[in-house]
């Protein structure tokens, strides 16, 4: 069935707080929380999803902003829209997330699509996901009578999935106060789905580089060996000095190849592509990773 009156005689609840929302989830099995609905309603309209009930999260204002914790962590509401994350105050805090939000789609989608929705949908090309993976963000899952904290990457991979009755409420992101870059390749100038994306953050306090590649696999991939290797190639002490060369250009290129080799297997990213398609994707990832690190260290 392609179409249908999917919402005829169906329940829609509009809780005003997280407590009300988890209560509604607990008492209505099969209810689906909905925020911006940019992915969810497409699935409903196409007949792929027929939720028994919808819980609209739009009235929960507490989830639409962020707060600080311990001086080093930002706690982002799941209801933060892409448009909000693109604003200068947010971009100054977590630049890579702002970059990802800015390129996530046309303004109509960015105005309503949320951070929590991007995680819950877990689309391979979800733009904020590689950034959250690189930042090693964690998610707060609320349920009636309690909360738990799960790394976002565990949610995405299904290692520790969202359980029935749980609502994604907050995302914890470390504030690194250092350059961060998100780059995506789409093949066009207008908004589009990424064919590959790379998020890269510097962590000068720990002298680390963290990187994640999006859209080439069902979940963002972390090239951990490449990260460790390249962190050792960077002249951390020269940071901030006028005209300092932080990394050998050859190391930049090698980093790109290293990342691509780690994230795009031979013989196709999705298992079915021809060898040349995989080679092209590798090349694209290598270019993105090289440029991302180059921009971060500029």
Partner 1 sequence: MTSATELPAPAPADPGTGTTGLGTSPLRTDALPKALGIYPYAADLWAEGLLWGAVLRSPHPHARILSVDTAPALAIPGVHAVVTAADLPAGPDGTPDGAPTGQVTADRPVLAAGVVRHHGEPVAAVAADHPDTARLAAAAILVEYEPLEPVTDPEAAFHAPPLHPDGNLLRHLPLRTGDPDAVGEVVVEGLYQVGRQDPAPIGAEAGLAVPRPDGGVELHLSSTDPHGDRDRTAACLGIDPDRVRLVGTGVPGATTDREDLSFQVTLALLALRTGRPVKMTLTRAESFQAHTTRHPALLRYRHHADADGRLVKVEAQVLLDGGAYADVSAEALASAVAFSVGPYTCPNVFVDAWAVRTNNPPAGRMRGEGALQACFAYESQLDQLAKQLGIDPVEIRRRNAMTTGDPLPTGQAVTCPAPVGALLDALDTTPLPALPLDDPEADWLLPGGPGGAGDPAAVRRGIGYAVGMVHMLGAEGEDEVATATVRVSGDHATVICAAVDSGQGFATLARQIVQSVLGVSEVYIAPVDSDQSAAGPSARSRHTWVSGGAVERAALMVRHQMLQPIAADFGMSVELLTINDGKITSYDGVLGMPVSEALEGRELWATAQCRPHPTEPLDPETGQGDAFVSIAFCAMRAVVDVDIELGAVRVVDVTVAQEVGRALNPRQIEDRIEGAVAQGVGLALLENLRTEGGVPVNASLTGYRLPTALDTPDVRIAALLEERDVVAPFGAKAVSAVPAVVAPAAVAAAVRAATGLPVGRLPILPEDAIAPA
Q: Which residue has the tokens 């050792």?
A: 232
Our finding on whether 73 is near partner 1 (CB under 8 A) is no
Site string for partner 1, 41-60 (x = CB under 8 A): -x---x--------------
Our finding on whether 190 is near partner 1 (CB under 8 A) is yes
Our finding on whether 250 is near partner 1 (CB under 8 A) is no
List binders of partner 1 among 128-167 (CB under 8 A): none
Among 188, 240, 250, 272, binds partner 1 (CB under 8 A): 188
* C-beta contacts of 103-108 below 8 A and 24+ residues apart: 103/127, 103/182, 103/184, 103/191, 104/128, 104/191, 105/38, 105/191, 106/190, 106/191, 107/83
Structure tokens of 117?
């929705």
Our finding on whether 216 is near partner 1 (CB under 8 A) is no
Among 10, 59, 64, 283, binds partner 1 (CB under 8 A): 283
List binders of partner 1 among 92-111 (CB under 8 A): 99, 102-103, 106
What is the β-pairing status of strands 31-34 and 11-13? unpaired
Q: How far is the CB of 233 from partner 1 (least distance, A)?
A: 20
Q: What is the 3-state secondary structure (H, E, C) of 21-79?
A: HHHHHHHCCCEEEECCCCCHHHHHHCCCCCCCEEEECCCCHHHHCEEEECCCEEEEECC
Our finding on whether 89 is near partner 1 (CB under 8 A) is no
Q: How far apart are CA 200 and CA 95, in angstroms?
A: 10
The stretch near partner 1 (CB under 8 A) out of 140-148, 191-199, 222-230, 262-270 is: 191-199
Q: Which residue has the tokens 């490449």?
A: 226
**Of 207, 173, 163, nearest to 66 (Cα)?**
173
Torsion 250-252-253-254 (CA) sign: positive
- Give the number of residues in contact with partner 1, rule: CB under 8 A: 30
Q: How far is the CB of 16 from partner 1 (least distance, A)?
A: 29
Among 10, 64, 143, 280, binds partner 1 (CB under 8 A): 280
Our finding on whether 10 is near partner 1 (CB under 8 A) is no
Our finding on whether 90 is near partner 1 (CB under 8 A) is no
Structure tokens of 127?
């733009």
Please tell me whether residue 98 adopts helix, strand or coil conformation: helix
Q: How far is the CB of 275 from partner 1 (least distance, A)?
A: 13
Q: Which CB sits closer to partner 1, 151 or 273?
A: 273
The stretch near partner 1 (CB under 8 A) out of 14-22, 165-173, 181-189, 227-235 is: 181-189
Our finding on whether 9 is near partner 1 (CB under 8 A) is no
Residue 113 DSSP symbol: -
Tell me how crowded residue 165 is: count the other CB atoms within 10 A of its CB: 18
Our finding on whether 259 is near partner 1 (CB under 8 A) is no
Our finding on whether 185 is near partner 1 (CB under 8 A) is yes
Return residues touching partner 1 (CB under 8 A): 1-5, 8, 42, 46, 99, 102-103, 106, 183-193, 195, 280, 283-284, 287-288, 291
């Amino acid at each position: 069935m392609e179409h249908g009156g999917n919402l005829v005689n169906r329940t829609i609840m509009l809780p005003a707080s997280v407590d009300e929302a988890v209560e509604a989830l607990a008492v209505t099995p099969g209810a689906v929380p909905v925020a911006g609905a940019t992915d969810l309603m497409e699935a409903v309209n196409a007949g792929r999803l027929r939720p028994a009930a919808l819980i609209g999260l739009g009235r929960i204002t507490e989830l639409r902003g962020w707060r600080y914790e311990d001086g080093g962590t930002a706690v982002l509401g799941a209801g933060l829209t892409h448009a909000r994350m693109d604003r200068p105050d947010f971009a100054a805090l977590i630049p890579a997330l702002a970059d990802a939000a800015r390129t996530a789609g046309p303004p109509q989608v960015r105005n309503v699509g949320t951070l929590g929705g991007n995680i819950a949908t877990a689309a391979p090309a979800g733009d904020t996901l590689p950034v959250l993976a690189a930042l090693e963000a964690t998610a707060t899952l609320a349920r009636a009578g309690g909360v738990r904290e799960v790394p976002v990457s565990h949610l995405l991979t299904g290692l520790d999935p969202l359980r029935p009755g749980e609502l994604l409420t907050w995302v914890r992101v470390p504030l690194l106060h250092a350059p961060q870059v998100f780059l995506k390749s789409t093949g066009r100038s207008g908004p589009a789905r990424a064919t590959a994306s790379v998020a890269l953050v510097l962590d000068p306090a720990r002298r680390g580089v963290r990187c994640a590649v999006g859209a080439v696999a069902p979940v963002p991939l972390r090239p951990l060996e490449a990260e460790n290797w390249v962190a050792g190639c960077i002249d951390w002490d020269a940071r901030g000095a006028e005209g300092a060369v932080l990394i050998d250009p050859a190391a930049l290129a090698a980093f790109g190849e290293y990342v691509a080799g780690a994230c795009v297997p031979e013989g196709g990213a999705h298992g079915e592509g021809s060898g040349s398609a995989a080679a092209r994707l590798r090349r694209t990832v290598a270019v993105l990773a090289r440029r991302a690190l180059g921009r971060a260290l500029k």
